[in-house]
A and B are shown apart, each in its own frame.
Chain A
Amino acid sequence: MPNPARAWREYPQRYRFEAGKCTKCGYVAFPPRLICPQCGNREFAKTKLAQSGKLLTYTIIRVPPDTFEDQAPYAVGIAELADGVKLTAQVVDCDFAALKVGMPVRLEFRKMYEEGEAGVIYYGYKFVPE
């Protein structure tokens, strides 16, 4: 069973969408980084991601990895948020037939998976149709 520290470390991102905005070129790093991949600057201002956007692409996973075995089939997508950041997440509360490129979505707090019967419960974000 993995140490819960690895997930706990990502809470500011997974729970509150905390990101870093490069003070020189405006690149938004999610998760935050030490060095801007666009301009090499090392200073970032605290920011949070926009909470809604549009799907750029999507698919429906029918063969899952073992952690998500019980959840298949489930939809995933990449959305471009209102602030230009592109994010990958599951798309839920949506009939598969309704998925399409350009669909407006927003972010919601959901359970990702549980570490078996006795382990930690992992929470994070998913897209729901706007």
Chain B
Amino acid sequence: MAGIVGYGANIPRNRIKVEEIAKVWGADAPSYKKGLMLEEKSVPSPDQDTITMAVEASKNALRRAGIDPREIGAVYVGSESHPYAVKPSGTVLAEALGATPEVHTADLEFACKAGTEGMFIAYSHVVSGVVKYSLAVGADTSQGAPGDALEYSAAAGAAAFIFGKDKLVAEVLHTYSYTTDTPDFWRREYQYYPQHGGRFTGDPAYFAHVLGAARGIMAKAGMTPADLQYVIFHQPNGKFPLRAGEILGFSRKQIDPGWLVPKLGNTYSGSSPLGLTATLDIAKPGDKIMLVSYGSGAGSDGFIFKVTDRIEEVRNQAVRTRDMLDKNKNYIEYGVYAKYRRKIRKAE
């Protein structure tokens, strides 16, 4: 029996509204808001990046786990905005937590599902018995190209999970992954912004893999939506996860606790993982939660968790995801946003 021992999140407090971005590019804000089911997104401050958010999210996970960081045997950070191309975010994270020097670490990339790949690897290490505890983080400060549709949604956030065999807050019942070579969204080396295939990113990409993974894991588990209390899908915008849920037969009640995107934006590798931390913040012992991520390129990871009694003891040991999402927000204008996100060309 292995699963999540501690979980934590970190969301920057800056927000920019769809209207503010649309104003600059002469776009029709109401249609973007309706089409994307998105109101605002988080923006990292200049002193926040994938590493700083990973550290704070992991510290929150440690508070709930209640373990000595030196017992963490492996650390995986999944992101598409690692601060270094060569030098793992994981080493800074492990050093900051005090997990060094006896620890494995590596950085992962798989577009928006690098975080859940990390979760799968971390979980597998624990199940196989090679480490006692392992840490997986999904964190991103992704960029949307100025004036592109993705600019409305590309946001920042991090979620961290410590896996182990004891002190579980949520047991992993099943894992699954559905992967194909599908070029829906990519970024070449040395390019600043990603490219994408427009409407090709819908049915052949997101839906094919999310539905493929969801159906695959439910079949493996012998479950239907009725057997699950909550489901979290990857959230590139508000519409896609709701549509996926509708197609599969889930109710809004099952989706809503983990549906953060309208006020958060798409936190890429943090997207479905943050939906999970928000859900764990309110789930009851015995609840079953399904998580289906999506990463362009493409693939989806599936997990089914069962919440344990211990969650009630530790959930308040650290800040709740929705408190970071809803409270203490700092709204910024496009000029400040462009400055923070380094979109302004300065003198050499």
Contact = CB atoms under 8 A, between A and B. Distances in A.
A110 B83 CA distance: 13
A93 B55 CA distance: 17
B330 A111 contact: no
Interface string B147-164: 000000000000000000
B47, B48, B52, B59, most chain A CB atoms within 10 A = B47
Interface stretch (B91-99, B115-123, B240-248): B91-99
A123 B51 contact: yes
B interface residue count range (under 10 / 10 to 19 / 20 to 34 / 35 or more)? 10 to 19
Nearest to B58: A109
Contacts, number: 43
Contacts of B49: 111, 121
A57 B46 CA distance: 24
Contacts of A71: 46-47
Contacts of B56: 108-109
Interface in B29-58: 45-49, 51-52, 55-56
Contacts of A92: 45, 47
A54 interface: no
B45 A121 contact: no
A93 B15 CA distance: 12
B84 A123 contact: no
B52 A109 contact: yes
B202 to A, nearest CB: 36
A93 B98 contact: no
A71 B46 CA distance: 8
Contacts of B328: 93
Contacts of B51: 111, 121, 123
A16 interface: yes
A111 B156 CA distance: 15
A88 to B, nearest CB: 16
Interface of B: 13, 45-49, 51-52, 55-56, 59, 83-84, 92, 95-96, 98, 328, 330
Q: When A and B form their complex, which 5 residue pairs have the shortest distance between CB atoms, in order from nearest?
A: A109-B55, A110-B47, A15-B96, A111-B47, A110-B52
27 contacts: A15-B92, A15-B95, A15-B96, A16-B96, A71-B46, A90-B47, A92-B45, A92-B47, A93-B13, A93-B330, A108-B52, A108-B56, A109-B52, A109-B55, A109-B56, A109-B59, A110-B48, A110-B52, A111-B47, A111-B48, A111-B49, A111-B52, A121-B51, A121-B83, A121-B84, A123-B52, A126-B47
